[in-house]
Chain A
Amino acid sequence: MKMSRAGPHPRKPDEDKDLVERAKSGDTGAFDELVVKYTPRLYGLIYHMTSNHDDTDDLLQDVFAKTYRALRRFRGNSSFYTWIYSIATNMTLNFLKKRSRRRTLSLDDVDLAIENDKEFIEITSKSDPVRETNISELQKRLNMAMQDLSEEHRAAVTMFDIQGMPHAEIAKIVGVSEGTVRSRLFYAHRQLQNYLSDFRN
Protein backbone atom coordinates (compact mmCIF):
# COMPACT_ATOMS: atom_id res chain seq x y z
CA MET A 1 0.00 0.00 0.00
CA LYS A 2 1.73 3.10 -1.22
CA MET A 3 1.21 6.10 0.97
CA SER A 4 2.53 9.60 1.17
CA ARG A 5 3.48 11.69 4.16
CA ALA A 6 1.53 14.89 4.47
CA GLY A 7 4.62 16.86 5.45
CA PRO A 8 5.54 20.47 4.61
CA HIS A 9 4.35 21.28 1.13
CA PRO A 10 6.02 23.95 -1.01
CA ARG A 11 3.41 26.34 -2.25
CA LYS A 12 3.43 28.09 -5.60
CA PRO A 13 1.21 31.14 -5.26
CA ASP A 14 1.52 32.02 -8.94
CA GLU A 15 0.24 28.66 -9.97
CA ASP A 16 -2.65 28.90 -7.54
CA LYS A 17 -3.54 32.35 -8.81
CA ASP A 18 -3.85 31.13 -12.38
CA LEU A 19 -5.86 28.09 -11.40
CA VAL A 20 -8.12 30.18 -9.18
CA GLU A 21 -8.84 32.71 -11.92
CA ARG A 22 -9.68 29.95 -14.36
CA ALA A 23 -11.87 28.20 -11.81
CA LYS A 24 -13.69 31.46 -11.09
CA SER A 25 -14.44 31.90 -14.76
CA GLY A 26 -16.06 28.45 -14.87
CA ASP A 27 -13.17 26.15 -15.73
CA THR A 28 -14.11 23.06 -13.71
CA GLY A 29 -10.85 21.39 -14.72
CA ALA A 30 -8.93 24.12 -12.93
CA PHE A 31 -10.96 23.57 -9.77
CA ASP A 32 -10.32 19.83 -10.05
CA GLU A 33 -6.60 20.56 -10.10
CA LEU A 34 -6.92 22.59 -6.92
CA VAL A 35 -8.82 19.71 -5.31
CA VAL A 36 -6.11 17.22 -6.22
CA LYS A 37 -3.41 19.56 -4.97
CA TYR A 38 -4.91 20.38 -1.58
CA THR A 39 -6.79 17.22 -0.65
CA PRO A 40 -3.85 15.45 1.07
CA ARG A 41 -2.97 18.39 3.30
CA LEU A 42 -6.55 19.29 4.11
CA TYR A 43 -7.27 15.66 4.83
CA GLY A 44 -4.37 15.62 7.26
CA LEU A 45 -5.56 18.81 8.96
CA ILE A 46 -9.09 17.53 9.50
CA TYR A 47 -8.09 13.95 10.33
CA HIS A 48 -5.60 14.91 13.03
CA MET A 49 -8.19 17.16 14.60
CA THR A 50 -11.01 14.60 14.52
CA SER A 51 -9.10 11.27 14.72
CA ASN A 52 -11.97 9.85 12.71
CA HIS A 53 -11.64 8.84 9.05
CA ASP A 54 -15.38 8.90 8.25
CA ASP A 55 -15.91 12.34 9.75
CA THR A 56 -12.85 13.55 7.86
CA ASP A 57 -14.22 12.28 4.57
CA ASP A 58 -17.58 14.02 5.09
CA LEU A 59 -16.01 17.26 6.25
CA LEU A 60 -13.54 17.35 3.40
CA GLN A 61 -16.39 17.04 0.91
CA ASP A 62 -18.19 19.90 2.63
CA VAL A 63 -15.05 22.04 2.64
CA PHE A 64 -14.57 21.75 -1.11
CA ALA A 65 -18.27 22.24 -1.78
CA LYS A 66 -18.22 25.43 0.25
CA THR A 67 -15.00 26.56 -1.40
CA TYR A 68 -16.49 26.05 -4.83
CA ARG A 69 -19.62 28.05 -3.95
CA ALA A 70 -17.59 30.86 -2.35
CA LEU A 71 -14.91 31.02 -5.02
CA ARG A 72 -16.39 33.98 -6.84
CA ARG A 73 -16.17 36.00 -3.62
CA PHE A 74 -12.46 35.25 -3.17
CA ARG A 75 -10.67 38.54 -3.83
CA GLY A 76 -7.07 37.37 -3.47
CA ASN A 77 -6.34 39.43 -0.35
CA SER A 78 -4.64 36.33 1.02
CA SER A 79 -3.24 33.33 -0.77
CA PHE A 80 -5.72 30.69 -1.87
CA TYR A 81 -3.88 28.29 0.40
CA THR A 82 -4.53 30.44 3.49
CA TRP A 83 -8.13 30.99 2.43
CA ILE A 84 -9.03 27.36 1.92
CA TYR A 85 -7.16 26.38 5.06
CA SER A 86 -9.20 28.91 7.04
CA ILE A 87 -12.40 27.44 5.64
CA ALA A 88 -11.31 23.91 6.53
CA THR A 89 -10.17 24.88 10.04
CA ASN A 90 -13.31 26.82 10.87
CA MET A 91 -15.63 24.12 9.56
CA THR A 92 -13.76 21.46 11.52
CA LEU A 93 -13.80 23.51 14.72
CA ASN A 94 -17.54 24.10 14.33
CA PHE A 95 -18.09 20.40 13.72
CA LEU A 96 -16.06 19.40 16.78
CA LYS A 97 -17.89 21.85 19.01
CA LYS A 98 -21.23 20.42 17.92
CA ARG A 99 -20.46 16.72 18.16
CA SER A 100 -20.43 14.72 21.39
CA ARG A 101 -17.48 15.16 23.65
CA ARG A 102 -15.55 12.11 22.54
CA ARG A 103 -16.29 9.83 19.65
CA THR A 104 -14.84 6.46 18.86
CA LEU A 105 -11.49 6.76 17.16
CA SER A 106 -11.49 5.67 13.54
CA LEU A 107 -7.85 5.72 12.63
CA ASP A 108 -6.07 5.42 9.34
CA ASP A 109 -3.36 2.85 8.94
CA VAL A 110 0.16 3.89 9.76
CA ASP A 111 2.55 3.98 6.87
CA LEU A 112 5.15 1.27 7.35
CA ALA A 113 7.75 3.83 6.37
CA ILE A 114 7.58 5.00 9.98
CA GLU A 115 9.97 2.24 10.89
CA ASN A 116 12.61 3.97 8.81
CA ASP A 117 11.90 7.40 10.26
CA LYS A 118 14.97 8.84 11.96
CA GLU A 119 13.05 10.31 14.85
CA PHE A 120 11.12 7.11 15.41
CA ILE A 121 14.29 5.09 15.47
CA GLU A 122 15.86 7.52 17.90
CA ILE A 123 12.88 7.50 20.22
CA THR A 124 12.54 3.74 20.26
CA SER A 125 16.24 3.33 20.88
CA LYS A 126 16.23 5.75 23.81
CA SER A 127 12.85 5.08 25.37
CA ASP A 128 11.95 1.63 26.63
CA PRO A 129 8.25 2.39 26.95
CA VAL A 130 8.09 3.56 23.36
CA ARG A 131 10.13 0.62 22.14
CA GLU A 132 7.94 -1.84 23.94
CA THR A 133 4.74 -0.34 22.66
CA ASN A 134 3.69 -1.60 19.27
CA ILE A 135 2.98 0.95 16.57
CA SER A 136 -0.77 0.44 16.71
CA GLU A 137 -0.89 1.04 20.44
CA LEU A 138 1.38 4.05 20.11
CA GLN A 139 -0.89 5.46 17.42
CA LYS A 140 -3.92 5.00 19.63
CA ARG A 141 -2.21 6.66 22.59
CA LEU A 142 -1.15 9.65 20.52
CA ASN A 143 -4.65 10.13 19.15
CA MET A 144 -6.23 9.85 22.58
CA ALA A 145 -3.75 12.41 23.86
CA MET A 146 -4.69 14.76 21.01
CA GLN A 147 -8.39 14.29 21.71
CA ASP A 148 -7.74 15.31 25.29
CA LEU A 149 -6.77 18.79 24.11
CA SER A 150 -9.30 21.49 23.42
CA GLU A 151 -10.20 22.01 19.76
CA GLU A 152 -8.15 25.20 19.47
CA HIS A 153 -5.05 23.62 21.04
CA ARG A 154 -5.43 20.55 18.89
CA ALA A 155 -5.59 22.72 15.77
CA ALA A 156 -2.37 24.49 16.76
CA VAL A 157 -0.56 21.21 17.40
CA THR A 158 -1.84 19.74 14.13
CA MET A 159 -0.67 22.66 12.06
CA PHE A 160 2.65 23.25 13.82
CA ASP A 161 3.90 19.86 14.97
CA ILE A 162 2.30 17.53 12.43
CA GLN A 163 2.10 19.69 9.31
CA GLY A 164 5.14 21.84 10.00
CA MET A 165 3.52 25.22 9.43
CA PRO A 166 5.20 28.36 10.82
CA HIS A 167 3.59 30.36 13.61
CA ALA A 168 2.82 33.31 11.34
CA GLU A 169 0.91 31.18 8.88
CA ILE A 170 -1.08 29.47 11.63
CA ALA A 171 -1.94 32.88 13.07
CA LYS A 172 -3.32 34.06 9.71
CA ILE A 173 -5.35 30.93 9.19
CA VAL A 174 -6.86 30.83 12.66
CA GLY A 175 -7.24 34.59 12.92
CA VAL A 176 -5.24 35.16 16.10
CA SER A 177 -1.89 36.73 16.92
CA GLU A 178 1.38 34.85 16.70
CA GLY A 179 1.72 35.23 20.45
CA THR A 180 -1.57 33.42 20.94
CA VAL A 181 -0.39 30.61 18.69
CA ARG A 182 2.82 30.21 20.68
CA SER A 183 0.92 30.32 23.94
CA ARG A 184 -1.49 27.63 22.77
CA LEU A 185 1.36 25.42 21.63
CA PHE A 186 3.18 25.80 24.94
CA TYR A 187 0.07 24.84 26.88
CA ALA A 188 -0.75 21.97 24.53
CA HIS A 189 2.75 20.50 24.76
CA ARG A 190 2.55 20.60 28.53
CA GLN A 191 -0.79 18.82 28.46
CA LEU A 192 0.55 16.19 26.10
CA GLN A 193 3.55 15.71 28.34
CA ASN A 194 1.26 14.95 31.28
CA TYR A 195 -0.90 12.62 29.25
CA LEU A 196 2.06 10.74 27.78
CA SER A 197 4.12 10.81 30.96
CA ASP A 198 4.43 7.03 30.99
CA PHE A 199 6.59 7.33 27.90
CA ARG A 200 9.29 8.83 30.03
CA ASN A 201 12.26 6.71 30.89
Chain B
Amino acid sequence: MKDSPSNIEKLIQLKRYETPGEEYFTQFAESLKDRQRAELLRRSSLALVGERVSVWFQELGSARWLIPIGVGAAAAVMAISMPLIFQDSSAATGMANVKNQPVDNQESNAFELQLPRPSGRVPGSQDRPFADSPGKLNASVTGQLKEL
Protein backbone atom coordinates (compact mmCIF):
# COMPACT_ATOMS: atom_id res chain seq x y z
CA MET B 1 0.00 0.00 0.00
CA LYS B 2 1.43 3.35 -0.99
CA ASP B 3 1.68 5.53 2.04
CA SER B 4 0.05 8.92 1.64
CA PRO B 5 -0.77 11.84 3.92
CA SER B 6 -4.39 10.81 4.05
CA ASN B 7 -3.44 7.44 5.57
CA ILE B 8 -1.39 9.19 8.20
CA GLU B 9 -4.30 11.46 8.93
CA LYS B 10 -6.53 8.42 9.34
CA LEU B 11 -4.09 6.91 11.79
CA ILE B 12 -3.91 10.09 13.82
CA GLN B 13 -7.68 10.37 13.81
CA LEU B 14 -7.78 7.08 15.71
CA LYS B 15 -6.52 9.03 18.70
CA ARG B 16 -10.12 10.19 19.08
CA TYR B 17 -10.75 6.91 20.82
CA GLU B 18 -8.41 7.85 23.63
CA THR B 19 -10.65 9.25 26.33
CA PRO B 20 -10.87 8.96 30.13
CA GLY B 21 -14.55 8.09 30.23
CA GLU B 22 -17.77 9.74 31.40
CA GLU B 23 -17.05 9.06 35.06
CA TYR B 24 -13.94 11.21 34.87
CA PHE B 25 -15.86 14.15 33.44
CA THR B 26 -18.49 13.92 36.20
CA GLN B 27 -15.83 13.85 38.89
CA PHE B 28 -13.97 16.68 37.18
CA ALA B 29 -16.95 19.00 37.42
CA GLU B 30 -17.24 18.30 41.15
CA SER B 31 -13.54 18.81 41.84
CA LEU B 32 -13.66 22.09 39.90
CA LYS B 33 -16.49 23.31 42.14
CA ASP B 34 -14.46 22.36 45.23
CA ARG B 35 -11.51 24.31 43.90
CA GLN B 36 -13.64 27.37 43.18
CA ARG B 37 -15.09 27.26 46.69
CA ALA B 38 -11.60 27.02 48.19
CA GLU B 39 -10.48 30.00 46.12
CA LEU B 40 -13.46 32.05 47.24
CA LEU B 41 -12.73 31.23 50.88
CA ARG B 42 -9.09 32.16 50.53
CA ARG B 43 -9.92 35.49 48.92
CA SER B 44 -12.56 36.30 51.48
CA SER B 45 -10.31 35.53 54.48
CA LEU B 46 -8.63 38.91 54.23
CA ALA B 47 -11.98 40.58 53.83
CA LEU B 48 -13.16 38.62 56.87
CA VAL B 49 -10.29 39.89 59.03
CA GLY B 50 -11.09 43.43 57.99
CA GLU B 51 -14.73 42.90 58.83
CA ARG B 52 -13.94 41.51 62.29
CA VAL B 53 -11.70 44.43 63.13
CA SER B 54 -14.45 46.75 62.02
CA VAL B 55 -17.05 44.96 64.18
CA TRP B 56 -14.76 44.99 67.22
CA PHE B 57 -14.20 48.67 66.74
CA GLN B 58 -17.90 49.37 66.56
CA GLU B 59 -18.58 47.32 69.68
CA LEU B 60 -16.34 49.57 71.74
CA GLY B 61 -19.09 52.15 71.69
CA SER B 62 -18.13 55.61 72.88
CA ALA B 63 -14.83 54.26 74.14
CA ARG B 64 -13.72 53.73 70.57
CA TRP B 65 -12.76 57.37 70.31
CA LEU B 66 -10.10 56.80 72.96
CA ILE B 67 -8.15 54.65 70.55
CA PRO B 68 -7.32 57.33 67.98
CA ILE B 69 -6.71 59.81 70.79
CA GLY B 70 -4.34 57.38 72.47
CA VAL B 71 -2.56 56.64 69.20
CA GLY B 72 -2.21 60.35 68.51
CA ALA B 73 -0.87 61.02 71.99
CA ALA B 74 1.65 58.22 71.68
CA ALA B 75 2.79 59.60 68.33
CA ALA B 76 3.19 63.08 69.80
CA VAL B 77 5.23 61.79 72.73
CA MET B 78 7.44 59.87 70.31
CA ALA B 79 7.89 62.91 68.11
CA ILE B 80 8.95 65.05 71.03
CA SER B 81 11.11 62.55 72.85
CA MET B 82 13.07 61.07 69.95
CA PRO B 83 15.19 64.18 69.23
CA LEU B 84 15.95 64.49 72.94
CA ILE B 85 17.00 60.87 73.10
CA PHE B 86 19.28 61.34 70.13
CA GLN B 87 20.76 64.49 71.58
CA ASP B 88 21.54 62.82 74.87
CA SER B 89 23.16 59.85 73.23
CA SER B 90 25.37 61.93 70.94
CA ALA B 91 26.47 64.13 73.83
CA ALA B 92 27.35 61.07 75.88
CA THR B 93 29.47 59.70 73.03
CA GLY B 94 31.28 63.01 72.60
CA MET B 95 32.10 63.31 76.29
CA ALA B 96 33.66 59.87 76.52
CA ASN B 97 37.18 60.99 75.48
CA VAL B 98 37.22 64.54 76.81
CA LYS B 99 39.99 65.60 79.24
CA ASN B 100 39.53 68.71 81.35
CA GLN B 101 41.29 71.51 79.51
CA PRO B 102 40.69 75.18 79.22
CA VAL B 103 39.79 75.42 75.56
CA ASP B 104 37.56 77.92 73.91
CA ASN B 105 34.06 77.09 72.68
CA GLN B 106 35.02 76.80 69.07
CA GLU B 107 37.65 74.22 69.80
CA SER B 108 35.42 72.18 72.15
CA ASN B 109 33.74 70.44 69.19
CA ALA B 110 37.01 69.68 67.41
CA PHE B 111 39.02 66.52 67.79
CA GLU B 112 40.68 66.92 71.15
CA LEU B 113 44.39 66.48 71.41
CA GLN B 114 46.48 66.37 74.50
CA LEU B 115 48.17 69.70 74.13
CA PRO B 116 50.09 71.93 76.44
CA ARG B 117 48.46 75.08 77.66
CA PRO B 118 47.94 77.63 74.87
CA SER B 119 50.78 80.02 74.52
CA GLY B 120 48.56 82.95 73.57
CA ARG B 121 49.83 83.10 70.04
CA VAL B 122 47.40 84.04 67.30
CA PRO B 123 46.36 80.99 65.21
CA GLY B 124 47.73 80.98 61.71
CA SER B 125 50.58 83.27 62.64
CA GLN B 126 54.07 82.97 61.14
CA ASP B 127 55.44 81.49 64.35
CA ARG B 128 56.63 77.98 64.05
CA PRO B 129 54.13 75.66 65.74
CA PHE B 130 56.84 73.53 67.23
CA ALA B 131 58.85 76.37 68.68
CA ASP B 132 57.59 76.03 72.25
CA SER B 133 57.77 72.34 72.60
CA PRO B 134 59.70 70.41 70.00
CA GLY B 135 57.91 67.12 69.31
CA LYS B 136 54.60 68.39 70.56
CA LEU B 137 51.95 70.35 68.80
CA ASN B 138 51.10 73.87 69.97
CA ALA B 139 47.44 74.63 70.78
CA SER B 140 47.40 77.11 67.90
CA VAL B 141 47.83 74.21 65.52
CA THR B 142 44.40 72.83 66.41
CA GLY B 143 42.80 75.42 64.17
CA GLN B 144 44.87 74.12 61.30
CA LEU B 145 44.12 70.55 62.24
CA LYS B 146 40.42 71.30 62.20
CA GLU B 147 40.76 72.53 58.66
CA LEU B 148 42.51 69.29 57.78
Interface residue count on the B side (C-beta < 8 Å): 29
> Which of A35, A40, A189, A200 meets B9, CB within 8 Å?
A189
> Which of B1, B13, B29, B35 meets A161, CB within 8 Å?
B13
Question: A47 contacts which chain B residues (CB < 8 A)?
Answer: 18
Tell me the residues in window 38-52 of chain A with beta carbons closer than 8 Å to chain B beta carbons. 39-40, 43-44, 47-48
B134: CB under 8 A from chain A?
Answer: no
B11: CB under 8 A from chain A?
Answer: yes
Whether the Cβ atoms of B25 and A193 lie closer than 8 Å is no
**Distance between Cα atoms of A157 and B17 in the complex (Å):** 15
**Distance between Cα atoms of A162 and B17 in the complex (Å):** 10
**Distance between Cα atoms of A6 and B15 in the complex (Å):** 10
Whether the Cβ atoms of B10 and A123 lie closer than 8 Å is yes
Whether the Cβ atoms of B12 and A190 lie closer than 8 Å is no
CB contacts between A and B, total, < 8 Å: 121
Q: What distance in Å separates the Cβ of A30 from its nearest Cβ neighbour in chain B?
A: 14
B19: CB under 8 A from chain A?
Answer: yes
> Which of A6, A65, A190, A193 meets B16, CB within 8 Å?
A6
With A4-B19, A162-B15 given, is the CB distance from A193 to B10 under 8 Å?
no
Whether the Cβ atoms of A61 and B35 lie closer than 8 Å is yes
Tell me the residues in window 35-55 of chain B with beta carbons closer than 8 Å to chain A beta carbons. 35-36, 39
B20: CB under 8 A from chain A?
Answer: yes
B7: CB under 8 A from chain A?
Answer: yes
* Interface CB pairs A-B, < 8 A, 17: A1-B21, A3-B20, A5-B17, A32-B33, A65-B36, A108-B20, A109-B19, A111-B17, A111-B18, A111-B19, A117-B14, A119-B10, A138-B14, A139-B18, A189-B5, A192-B8, A196-B8
